[in-house]
Amino acid sequence: MQLRIHDAPEIVILCDMSDSQVTDDRLAAVAAELGRLGRRLDDLGGELLSLRGTPPEPAPAAPADPPAAPGPAVAPTPGAAPAAQQPAGPRPPAPGTLPGAKPWPGNRPPAAAPAARWQQFPPPGTGAPWNRQQHPYPAPRPPAAPKQNWTASLSGARLLAWTGGAVTLLGVVMLLVLAASRGWFSPGARLVAGAALGVVLIGLAAWLHRKETARTGAAAVAGTGVAALYLVVGSATAQYGFVPPAVGLALAVLVAAGGLGLADVWRLQALAIGAVVGAAVLAPIVTQGWVPLLGGLIVVLEIAAGIVALRRNWPWLLVVGAGWAVLYTALAAGVARSTALWGAGAAAIATLVVGVAFALYALVKRDMTPAHGVLASAALPTLVLAGRLGGWGGAALAAGAAVLMLGVALVPTFARPTRVVSLAAGAVALLVATSLPFSGEVATAVIVGEAIGFTVAAAALRSRITLMFAAGFAILGVLGAVAQPLPPTVLALFPMPPFVRGGLPQQGALVTGLLVAVLLVGLAVALLVAFERTGLLGSRDGRTALWVITGLVGLYGLTGIAVALALLISPDRNGFVAGHAVVTVSWTVLALVLLARGIRNTPLRIAGLVLVAAAVAKLVLFDLVSLDGLARVGAFLGAGLVLLAAGVRYARLVAEAEQTDNPAPAGPPPGQPVPAGAPGQAAGHTQPTAPTQAQPSAQGQPSAQGQPPAQGQPTPPAQGRPQQDQGGRDIWGPPQGPGNPS
């Protein structure tokens, strides 16, 4: 189609453009725009992945688009822009063209030009700035391997292998023990056969371990062989006496080290545990009893197992080895003959030292939580041996264990659970050490003294854990005091043992009872101080119970002090009744002290009132019946006068406290009128002022808010309280200048 405009002869526009060519151009522009958007989205996705910290993974480069077929070169028209630099969208008509007229295409390229325009943007490849390798998408993560519990590891093959090993060990035991009773072979032949079987089993395990699929069976076979050799050594030493004990222990060390070394090389904790358990279970059968050599064999086994456990970080191997050592050495110390106690004692002490050393290294260096059990049980064989020895020898042995465990508890660099466990073990050892050489009243006094020591330590360290152990010792001490040296019967009746027997006072029992009573009072005071320093009295939960318990212990001790001291002075009924009169008066005085201290402290006030009620109840229910003569009169007069003085003094203290807490409102300053309705003064009355020189403020400058006005100036009224004179007018009006009367 051609359109010629005659009105403007200088502009001639020839439009000859087909509709198909316009459609192709627009499609090419849209395709180019979509390509730009896609590459921009790739860039944004890569930036997001880099922000998330996903490690980049190389992605395969996209194949480049095939190059477009080159078209014939077209000379550009003068004054026209190149086709590649023109915007893709439709342009407004040129000046002088009619609306709806198509622009002049100029020298159009052939049909391949749209493909060339598409290639003006670099394809996504290795050289483009939007390359996918710079910000790749992460590869999909592989699914996590399912976690296997311990039941999944108990496959049929493992069960069969370890069951076969156990049965084989039983066969070795029969060869070494039962064959001897039947006389089947000579002792030497039995030992050689057992040793040969152990060596063959270990060699077979080494051959099986070369194959990946046979390593489960190899572990079971090797464990069986090591246990068999261990049993042969024990039988040759303890049963047949072929080798001396020292040589037998050396051979046991070699066998245990070889088996556990094999487990270390193969990195099989199951092999190590199997070897230890097999040897430990069957060792008493081979040694024919709990002989001292059994303890030595097990301690050697514990040392070998502990070294491998610490090297490979196998906590359960350490626990198994130490557990068998503690069990066997404790049993050996408990049932060994008196002639063999020294050997059992050596094994027990070795178990203590080795167990504590391994446990501390495992807890501090390896962070093995199960090693707490090893630390807690290490002193058990030593305590059993101490109980077996008795007397001062057993006390010294238990005291050594207590010093070791309490020393571990005092090391500040150790973790809290480690210190708590060692403190518990040390406390038990200390209790055993103090109970062995003493008995009866002296043992009770010693236990109460230990409770005071733990309480003082808890208060100094502000440790509730230490206070818990102190409370345990306190319970034992109080129960022991109530049971024997200071029973309630000697405080309520006369004459009663142990203070009086057969009508004769027992000076030793009285002195012991007095000492225990003093210790009980000291324990009550120490417990209150420890409760306060550890923050237990500051909490509402259990505060009343703590006050009541410690108060009862203190009152019991005070009563014992009064009665025992009175009987020491006058060992007859007169001393008894005088002591109880002093008890009643002392209770009343203590109640007054608590009430005075408890004016602003509710627990102390309640304790004082309760003690007053207890003193009055004792007067009516006990003193009125049990006392007679001057003692009864003195008790009633003393308690009554103290209560009367307490009432007067307490009322005065309460009134003073109320005045301190709620002070009376202050009146106006001197020289100012008293507000209407103020108590004690008529309205308009002026307070006298001191003859001082007035310092007026600057004219027109009222004083700042919150600062006292200058002398001679009226004080502004309080907010919400308008002041009036007798005529009903406001006496405090707007600020006035100097010279105006106030």
The DSSP string of 278-299 is HHHHHHHHHHTS--HHHHHHHH
pLDDT digits (tens, 9 = 90+) for 263-276: 899 888 888 888 88
The lowest-confidence range among 15-19, 357-361, 637-641, 696-700 is 696-700
Residue-level pLDDT at 414: 93
C-alpha torsion sign, points 522, 527, 533, 537 = negative
Q: How far is CA 360 from the centre of its chain?
A: 18
- Which amino acid type is present at position 291? V
Nearest-angstrom CA–CA distance, 285 and 145: 45
State mean pLDDT over 280-300: 79
Q: How confident is the model at residue 18 (pLDDT cuts 50, 70, 90)?
A: low
Q: What is the model's pLDDT at position 602?
A: 74
Residue 97, pLDDT > 50, answer no
Distance CA 279, CA 305 (A): 12
Instruction: Please write down the HEC assignment for all residues of 337-364.
Output: CHHHHHHHHHHHHHHHHHHHHHHHHHHH
Is 90 exceeded by the pLDDT of residue 608?
no
Residues 679 and 665 sit within 8 Å (Cβ to Cβ): no
Task: Answer whether residue 72 shows pLDDT above 60.
Answer: no
More confident of the two residues 602 and 22: 602
Q: What is the mean pLDDT of residues 12-26?
A: 59
Burial class (CB in 10 A: 0-12, 13-18, 19+), 351: buried
Average pLDDT over residues 191-216: 86
- Cβ neighbours of residue 513 closer than 8 Å, sequence gap 6 or more: 441, 485, 486, 490, 498, 499, 560, 564
Looking at the predicted structure, is the pLDDT value of residue 479 above 60? yes
Q: For residue 697, which of 687, 707, 688 has the smallest C-alpha distance?
A: 707
Stretch 453-462: mean pLDDT: 92
- Tell me, what amino acid is at 207? W
447, pLDDT greater than 90: yes
User: Can you give the pLDDT at residue 374?
Assistant: 96
Top-confidence residue, 312 or 691: 312
pLDDT category of residue 121 using cuts at 50, 70 and 90 = very low
What confidence score (pLDDT) does residue 406 get?
93
Instruction: Note the pLDDT of residue 592.
Output: 81
Q: What is the pLDDT of residue 386?
A: 93
pLDDT band at 726 (very low <50, low <70, confident <90, very high): very low
Please say whether the beta carbons of 564 and 510 come within 8 A.
yes
Residue range 537-556: average pLDDT?
A: 81
Residue 188 has pLDDT above 90, yes or no: no
Report CA-CA distances (Å) from 739 to 288, 541, 730.
121, 67, 19
pLDDT at residue 75 in the model? 44
**500 phi, psi to nearest 5 deg:** -130, 125
CB 412 within 8 A of CB 385: no
Residue 105 has pLDDT above 90, yes or no: no
Distance between CA atoms of 240 and 234, rounded to whole angstroms?
9
pLDDT greater than 80 at residue 320: yes
Q: Out of 11-15, 209-213, 278-282, 670-674, which region has the weakest mean confidence (pLDDT)?
A: 11-15
| DSSP secondary structure string for all residues of 2-62 | ----SS-TT--------HHHHHHHHHHHHHHHHHHHHHHHHHHHHHHHHHHTPPP---PPP
534 Cβ partners below 8 Å, 6+ apart?
A: 458, 459, 462, 463, 464, 467
Q: For position 142, what pLDDT does the model report?
A: 57
- ∠681-655-674 over CA atoms, to 5°? 15
Query: In angstroms, rounded to a whole number, what is the distance separating the alpha carbons of residues 644 and 53?
Result: 82
Residues of the chain with pLDDT > 70, as a percent, come to 68
Q: Which of 89-103, 158-172, 191-205 has the highest mean pLDDT?
A: 191-205
Residue pointed to by tokens 């406390």: 427
Number of other CB atoms surrounding residue 543 within 10 Å = 15
CB 362 within 8 A of CB 374: yes
Task: Name the pTM for this structure.
Answer: 0.61
Q: Say how far apart CA 727 and CA 18 lie, in whole Å.
A: 111
Which amino acid appears at position 631 of this protein? A
Buried (b) or exposed (e) across 425-463, using 16+ Cβ within 10 A?
A: bbbbbbbbbbbbbeeebebbbbbbbbbbebbbbbbeeeb
For residue 315, what pLDDT is reported? 94
Q: Scan for tokens 């309205």, then name that residue.
A: 683
- Name the least confident of 6-10, 282-286, 610-614: 6-10
Name the token pair of 388.
Answer: 């077996």
**How many residues does this entry show for the chain?**
742
Is-contact 298 291, C-beta < 8 A? no
Strands 500-501 and 504-505: antiparallel
What's the whole-number average pLDDT of the chain? Answer: 75
Position 337 scores a pLDDT of: 80
Question: Please, how many CA atoms are within 13 Å of residue 104, restricted to the half-sphere of its CB?
Answer: 16
| Alpha-carbon gap, residue 475 to 453, rounded angstroms | 14
Question: What letters, b where the CB count within 10 A reaches 16 and e where it falls short, cover 142-173?
Answer: eeeeeeeeeeeeeeeeeeebbeebbebbeebb
Amino acid identity for residue 110 in this structure: P
Model confidence pLDDT, tens digit, residues 654-706? 777 777 766 655 555 555 555 554 444 444 454 454 444 444 444 444 444 44
Q: In the prediction, which pLDDT does 113 show? A: 44
Higher pLDDT, 399 or 128: 399
Residue 100, pLDDT > 70, answer: no
- Most confident listed range (467-476, 534-543, 585-594): 467-476
